[in-house]
Chains A and B, each alone.
Chain A
Amino acid sequence: MDGTSVLRSGAASSAQALPGLRARRRFWRGGLQGSEYTWAIAFVVPYIAIFIVFVIYPIVYGFWLGSKPSLYPELFDDPVYKMTVVNTLLFVGFGVNVRNAIALLLSGFFMRKGWWVKGLLMIFVLPWAVPMLPTFISLHWMFDGDYGLLNNLLWSVFHINGAHWLDTRWLALGSAIVSFIWKWMPFWTIILLAGRMAIPTDIYEAAKVDGATGVKSFFHITVPMLANLYLMITLISTIWTLGDFNTIYFVTGGGPAMSTYVLANLGIRDAFDLADPRLGVAAVLTALPVLIPLTVILMRKLKHAEVQL
C-alpha cells in the first residue's frame, strides 16, 4: 500500500460511499414509511416550532423596520458613515480571519497528549468563560495610556513607554480587534478541536507509516478534512461579527471621535441614542450586500455537506 492511496482513500472516505448512496436513499428516504417517518417528523418538529414562533416574525419585523427607502440617504449623509464602513470591513476581516487561522493552528497544538496540555486548555478557555461586560471594561482600562496595566507592565519589565493605545484611530481599532480575538478565540479553537477529533485516527496512523507527518499530514489530511468546517465557521462568524457592537462599545467607546465605529455601533447609536430604531436597523441592513453572498455560499455549502455524507 503506498502513501498516496491511503491519503486519497482517507480524504475521499466521504465520497467513497457513492455506489451505496442510491441504495441508501431508497432505504432511508423512500423507505421512511410508517413509524420511521413519524419519528423523523417528531425529531424536526421542535426546531421547526421554534423557527416559526421565534424567528419568522422578528425577522420580518426587522426588515419592515428598515424598509423605508428614505432612511438610506439619511444614513449616507451621516459624516461618520463612510469611515464606519471601512472600520467594519477591517474589524470583521481581520478579527474573524486572524482569529480563525490561529484557532486552526492552536487546535492542532491542543491535540497533543499530556496532562499539561489539558491544563493549558483549561486556562485557554478562561477568556471565553468570564462574562463579556466586565471583561471588556477591564480591557478598556488595560489599554489606557496613563494608568493601564499594559503600559505599566511594559514600563516595569522592559522600561518601554507604551503607546496611548486607545487615543488614535488605528491603534484603537487594533486594540479592539485584539480584544475581540482574545475573547472569542477559545470558542472557535474548541469547535476546530472537535472537528479534528472527527478525523479518524487511523488515517493519520496510516499516513505516518507512509512517512507523512507534521506539516505534510497537516496539508494532506487535516486541511482537506477540515476545509468544509473551517469555511462554514468563517462564514457564520463573519455574519455574527457584522452584528457585534459590544467590543467597540466597551473597549474604545467608538473613540477617538467616533473613528472606530462599526456598523452595529452606528445602528445601536441611531436606534437608542437618537431614538430612531428604523435608522438603526437601516444601518445594519447596509451590510446586506456582503451578507447575502455569504449566506448564499453558506447555504450551498450546507446543502452540499448534506449530500456529501
Chain B
Amino acid sequence: MSAVTAGTAPSRSLSTRMRRAARRRNMLVNAGAAVLGVVIIVWSLLPIYDMVMVSLEGHDDVFSSRIFPADPSASTYWQVITQGYWYLNFFWYQYWRSILLGVAVTGLTLLIGSLASFAIGRMRIRFGWVVTNSALLTYVIPSAFLAIPYYRIMQDYGLMNNLWSVIWALVTFATPYAIFIFQNYGASVPIELDEAARIDGASPFQIYWRIYLPLMVPALVAVGTFALLLAWNDYLFQFLLLSSKRSMTVPVALSQFLNSDEAPWNLMMATAIIYALPPVAIYYMFRRHMTAGLTMGGVKG
C-alpha cells in the first residue's frame, strides 16, 4: 500500500525494487492460494473418497482398517446401472423421475421467484413488502414438521402419489428464499437501466426478460443450483407423498437401504455416487456464468 503511494516518485532503482517486492508478494500470495487449494481438496473429497471406497469394496469390508480398497471392483456400479438388485429394479425410471422433479422445481422456483421479486423490487408494487415478509412464515415451522399437514392437503388436492405434490411442496420452500436473494442481489443492479428502457418504450415484460434476467445471471445460477439440490437432497417429502414403487424417485429408493438390518452399503454408495452426477454436470455447464462479475458503467456514468 505504501509502495503504491511511493510509486508516484519517478525513481528507477526504487521502481525496480518495488517490482521485485511486488513479485515476491505475488509469489507468496500464490503459494498461500496453492496451500489453501490443497486444504480445500482434502476437506471436500475425504468423505466422498470414503463413499467411493465403500462402493468399490465387498459387502463386509465396511469394517476394515484399510485406507485403500483391498480388492477394488466396479461390479457394484454395474449392478446399479443394470438394475441388478431388488431395491433398484426401477432405478432408471426413478432416475428419470428425479430429473423431472429437479428440473421442474428449479424452473418453477426461478420463474416464480424472479417474477415476484421483479414486481416487488423493481416495479415496486404497492405492499410488495407484505409479500416478502409473510413469505418468511414458510420457514417458521421446520419443514419436517409440516409433513403431516402436507400429507393431508396433497390428499385434498388429489395429488397423492403424483410427482406434482412433491414439486409444489419443494417450490413452496425454495421460492421465498429465491425472492430474498433476488431482491438483495437486484439492489446492486442500477434501476436507471429499467428507466432508460422504459423511456425507450419497453414493456415491463421486455424489461424483465431483456434487462433484469441477464443482469441477474449469477444469482439465478446460485438460486437455481439451490433449488435443484433441494429437490435432489430431499427425501422426507418424497417418501411421504410418493409410495407406490412406480411413483418413487431415487431418494425414496435409497431410503430402502435403511430398511433392513443388513444392507448392502457398497451398493447404496454406488447408487449415491451415480445419483450425484447430474447436479455436478449441470453446475459445470453453468459455472462460467458464476465467474463473470457485473460490469456496468454506461448508464451510471
Contacts and interface: CB of A to CB of B under 8 A. Distances in A.
Answer yes or no: A and B touching, Cβ < 8 Å. Answer: yes
Interface of A: 13-14, 17, 24-25, 27-29, 32, 35-36, 39-41, 43-44, 46-48, 50-51, 53-55, 57-59, 61-63, 65, 106, 109, 111-112, 116-118, 120-135, 137-139, 141-142, 146-147, 149-150, 152-153, 155-156, 182, 186-187, 190-191, 193-202, 211-213, 216, 225, 228-229, 232, 236, 239-240, 242-245, 264, 267-268, 271, 277, 280-281, 284-285, 288, 291, 295, 298-299, 302-303, 305-306, 308-309
Contact of A194 (B62, B148, B219, B229): B219
A111 B294 CA distance: 12
18 contacts: A24-B195, A43-B119, A47-B175, A50-B168, A54-B172, A63-B141, A112-B33, A123-B40, A139-B50, A191-B222, A194-B221, A198-B188, A198-B219, A244-B142, A271-B145, A277-B145, A288-B140, A309-B191
Given A131-B276, A306-B121, A54 B169 contact: yes
Nearest to B270: A134
B184 A129 contact: no
Contact of A59 (B49, B54, B66, B141): B141
B158 interface: no
Is chain B's interface secondary structure helix, strand, loop, or mixed overall? Answer: helix
Contacts, number: 343
Interface in B154-173: 157, 168-169, 171-172
Interface residues of B, number: 121
B124 A197 contact: no
B44 interface: yes
Nearest to A57: B153
Contacts of B297: 200, 202
Q: Which of B144, B169, B191 has the most A CB atoms < 10 Å from its CB?
A: B144
A215 B172 CA distance: 40
A147 B63 contact: yes
Given A199-B188, A243-B145, A306-B183, A27 B43 contact: no
A32 B149 contact: no
Which residue, A111, A150, A198, A308, has most C-beta atoms of chain B within 10 A? A198
Contacts of A127: 44, 47-48
A131 B204 contact: no
A58 B149 contact: yes
Contact of A123 (B45, B188, B189, B255): B45
Interface stretch (B9-17, B70-78, B89-97, B284-292): B284-292
Interface SS, A side = helix
A303 B225 CA distance: 26
A28 B184 CA distance: 19
B1 A61 contact: no
B99 to A, nearest CB: 14
B272 A198 contact: no
Given A35-B203, A128-B229, A187-B229, A138 B131 contact: no
Interface string B253-286: 0110110000001001101110110011001100
A306 B116 contact: no
8 closest Cβ pairs, A-B complex? A243-B142, A43-B119, A134-B272, A58-B149, A61-B149, A198-B188, A39-B204, A47-B116
Given A120-B37, A131-B251, A195-B185, A152 B66 contact: yes
Contact of B145 (A199, A201, A284): A284
Interface in B121-160: 121, 123-126, 128-129, 131-146, 148-150, 152-153, 157
